[in-house]
Copies of this chain bind each other. A is one copy, B any other.
Amino acid sequence: MKDGYLDFANSPMGAKLVNALGLPKPLPLERYKAGDPVVKGTVLVGGSVDAQLLESLAGFFKGMGVQTAAHDRLPQWVSVANKAGLTTGRWGGNGKPGEKVKALVFDATGLSDSTQTDALYWFFHDTARSLLPCARVVVIGRPPEECSSPRKATVQRSLEGLTRSLGKELKKGSNAQLVYVSEGAEGNIESTLRFLLSARSTYVSAQVIRVGKPVGELVKPADWAKPLTGKKVLVTGASRGIGAAIAETMARDGAQVIVLDVPQALAGAEEVAKKIGGKAMGLDIGAADAPQKLVEAAKADGGWDVIVHNAGITRDKTIANMKEQIWQLVVNVNLSTQERINDAMVETGALKSGGRIVCVSSISGISGNMGQTNYAVSKAGVIGMVQANAPIYAQKGITINAVAPGFIETQMTAAIPFTIREAGRRMNSMSQGGQPVDVAEAICWYASPASSGVNANVIRVCGQSLIGA
């Protein structure tokens, strides 16, 4: 779906008019293309007292081929970075800013009391005006629930207020995230850093991500541009829209994709499969014997590595006007079906150890929505399914996570009446809808063999939509 306003606001005449009228100014967002470097510019690094991840960060930045600079109040970054073989320098100084940078990374793991938050202030005060368009902000903390003292838990929890406010303040396509890294999980954050610092995360903002001890083995991909090489991936509902984008993006990252859709949509699935060198499969996943059929197909294929539960339907009515079969249909396809498939695939080993399950929830599952009691029940249930099963599947070396898309430009959203569509598109920090590929990129990050520390996460892909709970 084309966003005509976005194009208009970025045309020479349109830009003038938009400025004169004080209208929203969406910026064309940068998106990752195969072969791009992780960060197109410098990463400026800051940290609190006792910042605990500096050496890990330096090592990862080295691997990414990233250029860094040290904020005034973290001069020790220069020696840490040099030790890791990074070229680095000090940024600005004497109250003057340095060059414009593409990313800010702040290691807040050492904050142990709310009286120390001035460290946050200084770093972001000094640097907020020195960001290139579509810049990336990553704040790293410790999970509050794992902190040894309540004071530390409190200040670590306060970081969420910072990143969510920065997401709204920075504009120009920049985003800001908070990553809570468990003690001992410092070595597991590379896939997450690469996702968040690159243009792959362009429509993800103001999210809180938790990285813990690895589930199963942590595997560093031989080629970070193709982390899914050799992986067999099932994507449901993949004949068009977001599902097709997921299939294509996973194939770009090296995966062999099984493009599944209902038998009526098999032609579309075959077209997608052909384009990406994958296989098409026609199956009604809502049918009672679907789990068994999938187990058989996977076993015949030597086992699968990733399941992406993209298939989902909406049938909107207020509950007073809704027919029972519509309620049942939506809850079954969007939730119960996935429970049955996951349990069958995990129990039988058809989903291999080291496997990944990625689910699709929705903003509606988080905030509820008028006319979507059935859909919101199913999508809130998906969050419950992820959280309840994560520790159980982890025993088999399998992670389960979810994305919760906001307004994504698809045929489905194109059918929404104009005014409501415009509101949905603009009511977020990017002033525009996301693209199917933005959802797909988040799914690829979860699916990566290097993401074994990422489990039980639910990440919105919504451009920091205002709408929430």
**B residues in contact with A122, CB < 8 Å:** 324
Closest residue on chain B to residue A158 by CB atoms: B381
Separation of A389 and B168 alpha carbons in the complex (Å):
30
How far, in whole Å, are A167 and B367 apart by their CA atoms in the complex? 10
Rounded to whole angstroms, the CA-CA distance of A222 and B113 in the bound complex is 42
A168 — which chain B residues lie within 8 A by C-beta? Answer: 368-370
A95 within 8 A of B: no
- Knowing A153-B387, A153-B388, A381-B157, say if A164 contacts B368 (CB, 8 Å): yes
Bound Cα distance A100, B463 (Å): 42
Residue A70, interface by CB 8 Å: no
Tell me whether A163 is interfacial, beta carbon within 8 Å: yes
In the bound assembly, the distance between CA atoms of A209 and B374 in angstroms comes to 22
Given A153-B384, A165-B372, A468-B469, 14 additional A-B pairs, CB 8 A:
A114-B381, A129-B320, A150-B389, A151-B339, A155-B384, A160-B368, A161-B376, A161-B377, A161-B380, A164-B469, A169-B319, A169-B370, A367-B466, A467-B467
26 A-B pairs with CB atoms under 8 Å apart are A114-B335, A115-B332, A117-B327, A121-B373, A124-B319, A125-B322, A125-B324, A125-B327, A128-B318, A128-B319, A157-B383, A157-B384, A157-B387, A158-B384, A159-B377, A159-B380, A160-B380, A161-B364, A161-B373, A161-B376, A162-B368, A164-B368, A164-B376, A165-B377, A169-B373, A367-B468
A10 part of interface (Cβ distance < 8 Å): no
Q: Which of A89-127 contact B (CB under 8 A)?
A: 113-115, 117-118, 120-122, 124-125
Of the residues B165, B320, B366, contact of A370 by C-beta under 8 Å: B165
Please state the number of chain copies in the assembly. 2
Whether B469 and A150, one on each chain, are in contact in the complex, defined by CB atoms closer than 8 angstroms, is no
A376 and chain B: residue at smallest CB distance: B161
Given contacts A125-B320, A322-B121, A377-B120, is CB(A335)–CB(B166) below 8 Å? no
What is the distance, in angstroms, from A460's C-beta to the closest C-beta of chain B? 8
Q: Which residues of B contact A121 (CB under 8 A)?
A: 319, 322, 324, 327-328, 373-374
Task: Give Cα distance in the complex from A374 to B114, angstroms.
Answer: 12
Whether the Cβ atoms of B144 and A387 lie closer than 8 Å is yes
Distance of A380 Cα from B379 Cα, bound (Å): 26
- Cα A331 to Cα B114 in complex, Å, equals 7
Which of chain A's residues 314-343 have a Cβ closer than 8 Å to chain B? 318-320, 322, 324, 327-328, 331-332, 335-336, 339
